[in-house]
Amino acid sequence: MISKAIILPLFAYFLGSVPWGVIFTRLFSDVNIQEAGSRNIGAYNVYRLAGKKLGIMTLVGDILKGVIPVLIAVCWVDISDWKGELWVCLVAVSAFTGHLFPVFLGFKGGKGVATAAGSVLIMSPLVFLVCALVYILALCTTGYSSAGSLSAAVVLPCGIWLGTHSVPITGCAVLMAFFIFARHADNIRRLIDGTEHSSMRPERRT
């Protein structure tokens, strides 16, 4: 159990630290997403600056950073009691933290939405679906990806509690929602000012 408690959270953190947006744009475009647009390494900035294909590739890669370690954790331990749930949450938070504070980029990472979504997909597929629908509805209504992310983050803790009645998993969802809001501070200010970037079309394609 000691090896499980150490090895998988470390694996989750290092996997979460893999900056797919940076890797894909360096390999397949001439865009430096760390110096352009919002300077964020996530899928939306990649989409805006390098086009739909690389944006989707980044999105899938970032989601898998949450899916893979949490799926391993769920298959590895008994999650019928709070101890198992707590350990799975530790793995999920480790992957999420890796994306926010990646060791490979000097601990300057993304906003965590896609990696959190990947973790939630395994912990509660129904809640993942609800949050995805909320995101899409908010995106289509407002035209802003940030509004969709923030709306889904609001729904996430309540949805997890109603869907699982698990204190550890709900606590994990609250923590993720908090950091998603913290990482969207600039977006929130722009939404209030009416200067947020539209999500309807990319700025540049390569």
- Which pair of structure tokens corresponds to residue 112? 């965590």
pLDDT of residue 205: 46
- Which two tokens mark 107? 């601990």
User: Residue 203: pLDDT band by 50, 70, 90 thresholds?
Assistant: low
> Burial code of 63-74, b = ≥16 C-beta within 10 A, e = fewer?
bbbbbbbbbbbb
CB neighbours of 136 closer than 8 A, spacing ≥ 6?
148
Residue 203 within a domain: no
Which residue do the tokens 């590895």 mark? 76
Within a domain: 205? no
Tens-digit pLDDT profile for residues 34-52 = 888 778 898 988 998 999 9
Domain span including residue 17: 2-193
Distance CA 40, CA 186 (A): 12
Cβ atoms of residues 96 and 176 within 8 Å: yes
pLDDT recorded at residue 39: 82
Cα 36 to Cα 53: distance, rounded to the nearest angstrom? 18
175 found inside a domain? yes
Number of domains, the chain: 1
Identify which of 127, 153, 148, 129 has the alpha carbon closest to the alpha carbon of residue 138.
148
Encoding tokens for residue 175?
């923590």
The number of residues making up the chain comes to 206
pLDDT tens-digit readout, 4-37: 678 999 999 999 999 999 999 999 999 898 888 7
In a domain, 206, yes or no: no
Q: Within a domain: residue 157? A: yes
Q: Over 50: is that where the pLDDT of 206 sits?
A: no
The residue written with tokens 């802003």 in the block is 144
Average pLDDT over residues 59-81: 92
Asked if residue 80 has pLDDT above 90, the reply is no
* Domain-located, residue 199: no
From CA 94, how far away is CA 37, in angstroms rounded?
Answer: 27
Element (H, E) at 98: helix 82-100
Residue 142 lies in a domain: yes
Q: pLDDT (tens digit, 9 = 90+) per residue, 81-104?
A: 888 899 999 999 999 999 999 999
In a domain, 117, yes or no: yes
